[in-house]
């Protein structure tokens, strides 16, 4: 997954794009509608009668051989003819914007080449730092197993078109839209029935030396990242010619892929192994521990007690504790996942065991809970077996007595990208999933050697973990947004205007996610009586053709009957989001049902009297870089999508606490200051520079993503080539799309907007100040790679 190059020193303007690289979906990255996959037709001799006798066997066309270099089987979702001469195998990540861009390119190529010449095969490769990726892949695989390739590609399209709405609710809705039975999907998804295929694809990707997404093999020819369409087309054409040559030499069609993929893979250079050496800040923070508290190695594990992969990993961790003894400390963090309903009650019991009888009882509870069923009767039996006060334990579970501890662990997991379970950190080094013991041992041995050096240099053994954590990477800051305060013209509910927390919701009455999040918002209002006000902002999306008029009807309801009238109308609009429910006739029926003056509503809708009010909110959303619904400004914290109540509560708690001024590093979409900042928001100082740039990275440059494997000299040569083209009159935005490795650069044309002097790294800023506005720099090297800069201010 490509990562952006941060240029700022104290407040990296681009760091948000680095850490949240999947936050900028747009039209350019949305795959087109997918054609129904074609199947192999049964070949019948021309002279055969229309109806063959029962004893005549009609032979199907032979199946292709999977090959061994980049294996493909019918267990993989595919598009196109199985015997097509060119096969593109894509390892992708549903939360990666570059995968989305690459899939959009492949859509164009599918239209150009057709299914007879091109086959596209999908492999799962969710990246560990994308918290929603693995659940999305599990949902996609579930859809494929239940509905086949056509349903998969429909789900695939919806997921990439809505990358910031990757939630269980969305998955279920998209599965139904793809033609899969909701109940069957929900059951298979919640039980993670098809998760092994994801792990198989990940292992296959690692064996193929894949380090990031997207990663593609075109008949075995490796393509890294989202490359320009011309580059991909060149490889496709070469492979079509190679396939024709093989056919002329007598190789049968079903052998083409196996032969070509083996030949091309054999010619490819072997890449050196690359691992993530980031040390993350993972505080022990009073969590249950076992082992020597002064151990040189600390293993922190995030666990869901209902997760079968966590259960499968548990004996491995037990074996590690036995093998390393006093050298290993194990720390337990809770991360019950939303689709495991019994995980949180089980976590409550384990923590209650600790509250009643200490850490030893917690670990005994963990051993019992990971072994079997977690229903209420089972939890009561476990409490009894542990010697707990059973009635007290049952009350603790029912009252969620230990919810604060669980939510604190979940908040940490969310902050450091420990999304799926099990998730491990060994002295801060990330290790994801149900891994073999040898993988753990390799990293533990490495950390033991590192700890020995620290101790030899004078660090007390009990302080080794603290020393390693001192300079560890902290969680990314919460995304912030400089939204202006609402006025009396904005409908709201909950606390009175001027409440401690205002949640401004940008929503669309035709958006199903806006509908589904309403009970969550009501729950938040109830949880914080008198402290939280929810304010509505109109944002009808272009794809929802009925939404604008529905929005205008809601404005009229507000004009006639205030907040109560607005929310009554909103409730009816969300109840039925079909064409019939949002038609002009329906709007008039809704008005009558809630007691509005229907004649006034008709006049207002005919005259489009409230269009300006709706468009004002839309313009505000655009100025704040808000591109989808529902989006929320919680004071100045930004949240996107249909999030669970726990997520909203965590943000509300932050908003209720001492105000933390937003930094440029944390601003949503590198947002420029809003025209009317609220009193709580600090002013932005004048004295800004402005620039567009393209950035060519190389292996080893700062923040270079794993897929960038070019050398420093190769990167410099590419940057020089881009500069020559710019000097010859090529459009700068086009060059950015072709050459830049910065996430989101193509959609912004490389525009960095305006930034204060002193904010950029010295090499960048010094080069920028040497050129006039409208002029180009030369090739500028910074720790992040090679830049070509166009000054705009």
Q: What is the pLDDT of residue 628?
A: 81
Q: What is the pLDDT of residue 449?
A: 95
> Is residue 216 within 8 Å of 233, Cβ to Cβ?
no
Highest mean pLDDT among 136-145, 238-247, 412-421, 673-682: 136-145
Output DSSP code: residue 327. G
Separation CA 439–CA 422 (nearest Å)? 14
pLDDT at residue 62 tops 80: no
> Is residue 337 within 8 Å of 421, Cβ to Cβ?
yes
Taking the model in full, what pTM does it have?
Answer: 0.51
Confidence of residue 372 (pLDDT cuts 50, 70, 90): confident
Separation CA 643–CA 652 (nearest Å)? 13
CA-atom Rg of the chain in angstroms: 29
Q: What is the pLDDT of residue 276?
A: 61
Structure tokens at 784: 């992040």
Instruction: Label residues 525-535 b or e (16+ Cβ within 10 Å = b).
Output: beebeebbbbb
Tens digits of per-residue pLDDT, 262-316? 888 777 654 444 456 789 999 999 999 999 999 999 999 999 999 888 999 999 9
* Residue matched to tokens 């109830």: 526
- Any bridge partners for residue 506, and if so which? 537, 631
CA–CA distances in Å: residue 147 to residues 144, 154, 185, 495: 5, 10, 10, 46
Neighbouring C-beta atoms of residue 57, cutoff 10 Å: 7
**pLDDT (average), residues 684-708:** 75
- Of 217-221, 375-379, 754-758, the range with the lowest mean pLDDT is 754-758
Separation CA 249–CA 431 (nearest Å)? 48
Tens digits of per-residue pLDDT, 172-223? 999 999 999 999 999 999 888 898 899 888 888 877 878 788 999 999 999 8
Q: What is the pLDDT of residue 594?
A: 97
Structure tokens at 681: 């928001």
CA–CA distances in Å: residue 219 to residues 72, 206, 296, 368: 11, 18, 48, 50
Structure tokens at 634: 């919680």
Separation CA 711–CA 697 (nearest Å)? 9
pLDDT at residue 518 tops 50: yes
**pLDDT (average), residues 335-345:** 88
**pLDDT (average), residues 545-563:** 96
Q: What is the pLDDT of residue 65?
A: 62
Q: What is the pLDDT of residue 123?
A: 96
Strands 637-640 and 631-634: antiparallel
Q: In the chain, what's the furthest Cα-to-Cα distance?
A: 90
Confidence of residue 415 (pLDDT cuts 50, 70, 90): confident
Cα 723 off chain centre by: 34
* Residue matched to tokens 């950190």: 425
pLDDT at residue 41 tops 60: no
- Of 368-372, 387-391, 527-531, 771-775, the range with the lowest mean pLDDT is 771-775
| DSSP secondary structure letters along 87-140 | EEEEEE-TT-HHHHHHHHHHHHHHHHH-TTTEEEEEEE---TT-TTHHHHHHHH
> Is residue 689 within 8 Å of 757, Cβ to Cβ?
yes
3-state secondary structure of 601: helix
Separation CA 297–CA 455 (nearest Å)? 12
**pLDDT (average), residues 753-759:** 69
Tens digits of per-residue pLDDT, 647-663? 899 899 989 988 777 77
């Amino acid at each position: 997954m490509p990562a952006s190059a941060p240029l700022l020193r104290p407040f990296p303007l681009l760091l948000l794009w680095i850490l949240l690289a999947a936050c900028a979906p747009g039209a350019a990255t949305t795959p087109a509608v997918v054609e129904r996959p074609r199947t192999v037709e049964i070949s019948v001799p021309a002279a055969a009668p229309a109806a063959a006798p029962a004893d005549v066997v009609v032979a199907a066309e032979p199946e292709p051989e999977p090959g061994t270099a980049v294996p493909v089987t019918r267990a993989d979702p595919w598009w196109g003819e199985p015997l097509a001469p060119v096969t593109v195998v894509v390892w992708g990540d549903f939360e990666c914007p570059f995968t989305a861009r690459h899939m959009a390119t492949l859509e164009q190529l599918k239209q150009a080449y057709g299914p007879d010449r091109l086959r596209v095969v999908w492999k799962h490769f969710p990246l560990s730092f994308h918290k929603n990726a693995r659940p999305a892949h599990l949902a996609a695989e579930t859809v494929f197993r239940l509905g086949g390739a056509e349903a998969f590609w429909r789900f695939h399209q919806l997921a990439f078109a809505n990358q910031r709405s990757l939630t269980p609710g969305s998955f279920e809705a998209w599965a139904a839209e793809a033609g899969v039975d909701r109940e069957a999907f929900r059951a298979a998804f919640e039980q993670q029935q098809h998760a092994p295929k994801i792990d198989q694809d990940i292992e296959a990707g690692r064996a193929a030396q894949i380090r990031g997404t997207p990663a593609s093999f075109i008949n075995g020819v490796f393509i890294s990242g989202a490359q320009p369409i011309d580059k991909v087309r060149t490889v496709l054409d070469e492979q079509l010619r190679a396939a024709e040559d093989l056919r002329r030499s007598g190789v049968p069609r079903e052998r083409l892929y196996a032969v070509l993929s083996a030949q091309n893979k054999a010619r490819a250079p072997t890449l050196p192994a690359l691992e993530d050496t980031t040390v993350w800040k993972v505080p022990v923070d009073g969590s249950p521990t076992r082992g020597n508290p002064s151990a040189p190695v600390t293993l922190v594990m995030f666990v869901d007690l209902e997760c079968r992969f966590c259960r499968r990993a548990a004996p491995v961790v037990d074996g590690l504790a036995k093998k390393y003894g006093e050298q290993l400390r194990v720390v337990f963090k809770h991360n019950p996942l939303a689709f495991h309903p019994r995980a949180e009650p089980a976590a409550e019991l384990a923590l209650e065991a600790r509250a009643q009888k200490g850490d030893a009882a917690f670990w005994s509870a963990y051993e019992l809970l990971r072994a079997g069923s977690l229903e209420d009767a089972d939890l009561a039996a476990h409490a009894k077996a542990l010697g707990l006060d059973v009635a007290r334990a049952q009350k603790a579970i029912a009252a969620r007595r230990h919810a604060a501890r669980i939510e604190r662990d979940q908040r940490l997991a969310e902050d450091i990208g420990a999304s799926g379970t099990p998730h491990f950190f060994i002295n801060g080094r990330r290790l994801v999933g149900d891994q073999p013991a040898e993988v753990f041992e390799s990293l533990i041995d490495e950390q033991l050697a590192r700890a020995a050096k620290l101790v030899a240099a004078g660090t007390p053994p009990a302080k080794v973990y603290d020393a390693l954590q001192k300079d560890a990477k902290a969680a990314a800051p919460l995304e912030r947004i400089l939204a202006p305060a609402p006025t009396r013209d904005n409908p709201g509910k909950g606390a009175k205007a001027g409440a401690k927390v205002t949640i401004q919701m940008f929503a669309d009455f035709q958006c199903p996610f806006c509908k589904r999040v309403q009970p969550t918002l009501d729950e938040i209002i109830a949880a914080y009586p008198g402290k939280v006000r929810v304010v509505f902002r109109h944002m009808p999306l272009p794809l929802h053709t009925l939404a604008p008029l529905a929005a205008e009807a809601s404005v009229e309801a507000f004009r006639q009957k205030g907040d109560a009238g607005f929310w009554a109308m909103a409730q009816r609009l969300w109840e039925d989001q079909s064409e019939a429910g949002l038609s002009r006739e329906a709007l008039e029926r809704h008005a009558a049902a809630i007691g509005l003056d229907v004649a006034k509503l008709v006049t207002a809708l005919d005259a489009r009297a409230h269009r300006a009010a709706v468009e004002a909110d839309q313009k505000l959303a655009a100025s704040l870089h808000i591109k989808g619904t529902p989006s929320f400004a919680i004071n100045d914290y930004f949240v996107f999508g249909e999030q669970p109540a726990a997520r909203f509560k965590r943000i509300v708690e932050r908003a209720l606490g001492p105000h933390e001024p937003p930094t440029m590093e944390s601003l949503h979409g590198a947002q420029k200051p809003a025209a009317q900042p609220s009193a709580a928001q600090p002013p932005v100082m004048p004295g800004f520079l402005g620039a567009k740039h393209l950035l060519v990275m190389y292996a080893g440059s700062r923040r270079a993503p794993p897929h960038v494997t070019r050398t420093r000299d190769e990167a410099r040569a590419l940057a020089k080539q881009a500069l020559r083209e710019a000097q010859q009159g090529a459009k700068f935005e086009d060059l950015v799309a072709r050459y830049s490795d910065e996430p989101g650069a193509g959609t912004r044309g490389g525009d960095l907007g305006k930034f204060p002097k002193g904010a950029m790294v010295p090499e960048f800023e010094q080069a920028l100040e040497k050129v006039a506005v409208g002029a180009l720099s030369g090739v500028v090297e910074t720790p992040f790679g090679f830049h070509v800069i166009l000054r705009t201010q």
